Structure 1
């Protein structure tokens, strides 16, 4: 699990196709490797990859065909700068939001403009994840936990402070670029719970068995039983 708070910038130094996947090597002099071992996870532009080798300030990871088909890595080449975050430790702070490193869709940067010391960015919104993106909610863009300041049917707007641009790849964003998007996982859980609530409501009393009391979905009892005291 990650938080979307970028720890360092890395540079892709090698990217070669291997079967239907690829092998990528990243140099990251600003990343602390003292607690990194083979098999650990690192988020690269929001994509959770497994470290298969590392030497000095560089690490290597395998990318599956699924990763290449669903993310911006299908077009990556040596020299590209990427955002890096190590997996969150149990004792770490949740500075951003819950990020899995599982890209839901890619988006295209439509426009970038600077106004009153901040940078405003509009990005296309794929229909598959549009329902999970809400005004003032969180979204992960290329691994960065960001707040949605405006959302329309097919696009959303970010307002980025200078600090974000100085520690991430935001300063390199230009119209036409492809970025990785991951919606807030909490929205997916809520949708799933509501799905079962609606389906339970349509069952007959006989099918419900012990749940024949008629209570379905999210109730006070359900929340208490699952730790929401």
Structure 2
């Protein structure tokens, strides 16, 4: 588990294709690694990766085919900057929100505009994720816990303040940039809970939480 509070920005120092998947070497002089052991997890642009080797100034991790298909890690080149966060402990302040490091989908930056000292981004999410994105709710973008400032269908906007620009890779985003998205864990579990006994049934083309289901459960009057 993670908090979505980025601890350091690193860069891709090595990229090696191995039998259809990928091995990444990440370098960061900012991320403290003294307490990191082989097998520990580090969120890399929001993707929970397992450390398989420590290099002194970074770590090596393998990326599976599934992760490559569901995230932007396949886009990374040597020199690409990445957000980094070590797994939380019981003493870690929960400054953001609970993040699993399991990417739900890839979004696209549609617009970027300066707004005083902040940067405002318009992001398009996959339509399947739209129901989990709420005005003033939390969303994880490339591992960073951010507040949704507005929602219109499957598009939402973010306001990135100067501190976040300095401590993450968000200032690098341009129209067309692809970003990893993880929706709020509570929203996903709540949807599953609302299905009740239907959750045990095979998925149907129109399955999920519908207005009819909400009315049946007493949530609508």
TM-score with structure 1 setting the length? 0.85
Residue in structure 2 matched with residue 160 of structure 1 by the alignment: 160
When residues 198 and 70 of structure 1 are mapped into structure 2, their CA distance, relative to the original with a 3 A threshold, is closer
5+ residue gaps, structure 2, are 201-215
Q: Hey, what's the Cα distance between the residues in 1 that align with 2:194 and 2:174?
A: 39
Question: What displacement does 1:185 show?
Answer: 0.6
Q: Hey, what's the Cα distance between the residues in 2 that align with 1:192 and 1:199?
A: 7
Residue in structure 1 matched with residue 203 of structure 2 by the alignment: none
Instruction: Kindly indicate whether residue 115 of structure 2 is the aligned counterpart of residue 115 of structure 1.
Output: yes
Residue in structure 2 matched with residue 38 of structure 1 by the alignment: 38
| Count, aligned residues | 203
Residue in structure 2 matched with residue 151 of structure 1 by the alignment: 151
Contact 1:196 1:217 in 2 (8 A): no
- Give the 5 Å matches for 1:84-95: 84-95=84-95
Q: Hey, what's the Cα distance between the residues in 2 that align with 1:154 and 1:128?
A: 8
Residue in structure 1 matched with residue 2 of structure 2 by the alignment: 2
Q: Hey, what's the Cα distance between the residues in 1 that align with 2:91 and 2:9?
A: 23
Residue in structure 2 matched with residue 57 of structure 1 by the alignment: 57
Residue in structure 1 matched with residue 105 of structure 2 by the alignment: 105
Question: What displacement does 1:154 show?
Answer: 2.3
Q: Hey, what's the Cα distance between the residues in 1 that align with 2:43 and 2:90?
A: 17
Q: Helix, strand or coil for the counterpart of 1:91?
A: coil
Q: Hey, what's the Cα distance between the residues in 1 that align with 2:146 and 2:122?
A: 13
Question: What displacement does 1:217 show?
Answer: 7.2
5+ residue gaps, structure 1, are 201-215, 219-229
1:73-97: CA deviation from partner (whole Å, max 9, x where unpaired): 1121100000000000111110100
Contact 2:139 2:145 in 1 (8 A): yes
Question: What displacement does 1:69 show?
Answer: 0.5
Contact 2:142 2:179 in 1 (8 A): yes
Question: What displacement does 1:199 show?
Answer: 7.5
TM-score with structure 2 setting the length? 0.88
1:85-124: CA deviation from partner (whole Å, max 9, x where unpaired): 0000111110100000000000110011111221100010
Question: What displacement does 1:55 show?
Answer: 1.7
Contact 2:129 2:154 in 1 (8 A): no
Q: Helix, strand or coil for the counterpart of 2:132?
A: coil
1:48-93: CA deviation from partner (whole Å, max 9, x where unpaired): 0000001211100000000100100112110000000000011111
Contact 2:192 2:199 in 1 (8 A): no
Stretches (4+) displaced over 6 A: 197-200
- Give the 5 Å matches for 1:204-215: none
Aligned CA-pair RMSD? 1.7
Q: Hey, what's the Cα distance between the residues in 1 that align with 2:189 and 2:116?
A: 37
